[in-house]
Amino acid sequence: MGFAPAQYTSGIMPLVHGKSNISHPQLEFLRISNHLKGESLLGVSDCKLQLTFGVPSRISCRPHLSKLVIKSNYPQNADLPRYYSKKEKKPFPVPIVELRRNARARQKSAKGRPKRPVPPPRNGMLVHSLIPVAYAVLNARVTLINNLKKLLRVVPVHACKWCNEIHVGPEGHPFKSCRGLRTEARKGLHEWTKATVDDLLVPVDSFHLSDRLGKRITHEERFSIPRVPALIELCVQAGVDLPDFPTKRRRKPVIRIGKSEIIDADENDLPEPTPDTITKPIITEITDSEISPPANAEEMAALSEATLEAWETMREGAARLMKKYAVRVCGYCPEVHIGPSGHKAQNCGAYKHQQRNGQHGWQTAVLDDLIPPRYVWHVPDVAGPPLKRELRSFYGQAPAVVEMCVQGGAGVPDKYKPTMRLDVGIPRDLKEAEMVV
């Protein structure tokens, strides 16, 4: 029988009954023993053949390629978040199975141990380290609104008359994506009008709670309790004192009698409260008569950079607050509630609300539920040719505020580059697009 000698195999160095004469720090030696019956290579039957191969181990090229490797926390290209139909429920941020598994693990680890005191804000106290963050978020929101009012005077933004789609650019996009009233007569084309600040920042309102740990709002109280912007309500519960929205502040942790029943501790033995030194001045919104648009390109670029910075400050600060202060959202409609448990108002009109008697399906909210980003098509060159309908798959998208600031002269943040597809070459016409592989 034939046997292929190992020395004819490239990349493998064999040895018979011995060790290799070649010493390499990145080679590991693997011994293979086998009994060959009959006539073998050595002419002896039933001989024991032992082969030792030099197998390359993990090769590290870090010292040689450290100057050539470009690392990034964001992918090169990415798709937008999935669009969920109004007929399906929003997914939970953390699956129910994982939540139950974590709860069982916590219950098992706490078994036999003394109960720890409930940390703030669940005990009614404020998280003092997040009070400056709440003031920064509130001021960033006001700054963002004031700057957007100024940028709207110089950067054209269009809003559809029949649907909620907007576009940032010299003229509206030509895509047939309108889902509003009488869309069949217009064949899906949009009818563009001038946009406002509410088109860029979607208003999300919630009930104002005078006591965050109080009883849940009933269906009969839905008209007697004021509604405020959800982000302002989150900042108020996190420590911002606004005279128009009073809220209860406790200086001692609450006493829990049951799972949903609490009583306030006696605070008569405490000294008089002193003025809080953490409070900061709050910026006020400017009126339409006080709007002064930038005079030149340099002022517009600086205003765009400040607007983008306020947008990032508002989102990052709100994400930090949401980790401590509970925010709920309905899984069927965009209703948001700031508090440990959602209200009982039966005003949900989403798909199959009759089966739920109008009640909301509360679940943990994510940042996009509190601050919805309005995605718009990215215009690669404002002074270049307009967007073409047949090249739609080559264009990227970005939040409306980011696209507005980029067209105003601000730099593109790294976190938005994947969805904007800045590295995708856009063909000149349909014939050239068909040649793309």
229-263 pLDDT, tens digit per residue, is 999 999 999 999 999 999 999 989 998 887 778 88
Is residue 329 within 8 Å of residue 363, measured between CB atoms?
yes
Domain check: are 166 and 256 in the same one?
yes
The verdict on residue 351 lying in a domain is no
Q: Are residues 211 and 293 in the same domain?
A: yes
Distance CA 198, CA 159 (A): 11
pLDDT at 35: 44
Which residue(s) pair with 194 in the sheet?
158
Q: Mean pLDDT of successive 10-residue segments in the chain (437 residues)? A: 43 42 43 43 43 45 48 71 83 93 94 88 93 96 96 95 94 92 91 95 96 93 95 96 92 85 86 74 90 92 96 97 96 95 94 93 95 93 88 92 95 91 82 76
Residue 182's alpha-carbon distances to 92, 160, 186, 206, 309, in angstroms, are 35, 13, 7, 32, 40
- Whether residues 35 and 130 share a domain: the answer is no
Residues 17, 49 contacting (CB under 8 angstroms) = no
Percent of the chain with pLDDT over 90: 60
The 3-state DSSP class for residue 157 equals: strand
pTM of the model: 0.80
Q: What pLDDT is stored for residue 37 in this prediction? A: 43
Q: Domain check: are 124 and 50 in the same one? A: no
The string of DSSP codes covering 93-134 is SS-HHHHHHHHHHHHHHTTTSPPPPPPTTTTS---GGGHHHH
Task: Assess whether 157 and 239 both reside in one domain.
Answer: yes
Identify the domain boundary among 32, 61, 90: 61
CA-based nearest residue to 330, from 281, 369, 379, 378: 369
**Which pLDDT score, from 0 to 100, does residue 73 have?**
67
pLDDT digit string (tens) for 152-189? 999 999 999 999 999 999 999 999 999 899 899 999 99
Task: State residue 227 phi and psi, 5-degree precision.
Answer: -110, 135
H or E element: which one contains 399?
strand 397-399
DSSP 334-375: --EEESSS--------STTTTTTTT---EEE--HHHHS---E
Decide: helix, strand or coil at residue 406: helix
pLDDT of res. 234: 97
Give the C-alpha separation, 310 to 318, whole Å.
Answer: 12
In this structure, the answer to whether residues 125 and 43 fall within a common structural domain is no
Domain range for 407? 118-266+276-316+368-420
Report pLDDT for 275: 67
Residue 271 lies in a domain: no
For tokens 């509410």, name the residue.
Answer: 198
Task: Say if residue 398 is in the same domain as residue 251.
Answer: yes
Task: Note whether 35 and 127 are same-domain residues.
Answer: no
- The encoded tokens of residue 14 equal 């064999």
Helices and strands in the chain: count of H runs, count of E runs:
10, 14
- pLDDT value of residue 71: 56
Report if residue 283 sits inside a domain. Answer: yes
How far, in Å, CA of 212 to CA of 209, rounded?
6
Phi-psi region of 188 (alpha: psi -120 to 50; beta: other; left: phi over 0): left
Do you find a cis peptide bond into 121, omega within 30 degrees of 0?
yes
Examine residue 197 and state whether it is found in any structural domain, yes or no.
Answer: yes
Three-state DSSP class for 160? Answer: strand
Q: Are residues 150 and 251 in the same domain?
A: yes
In a domain, 380, yes or no: yes
pLDDT score for 51 = 45
For residue 329, tell me if it sits in a domain: no
Question: Rounded to 5, what percent of the chain is helix, strand, coil?
Answer: 30, 15, 60
Instruction: Please check whether residue 173 lies inside any domain of the structure.
Output: yes
Phi/psi at 54 (5° precision): -90, 110
Maximum alpha-carbon separation in the chain: 105
Q: Which residue has the tokens 């919805």?
A: 372
Which tens digit of pLDDT belongs to each residue from 301-340?
999 999 999 999 999 999 999 999 999 999 999 999 999 9
Q: Is residue 400 part of a domain?
A: yes
In the chain, how many domains are there?
2
Kindly state whether residues 17 and 147 are assigned to the same domain: no
Residues 50 and 157 in one domain: no
Backbone angles phi, psi at 28, to 5 degrees: -115, 135
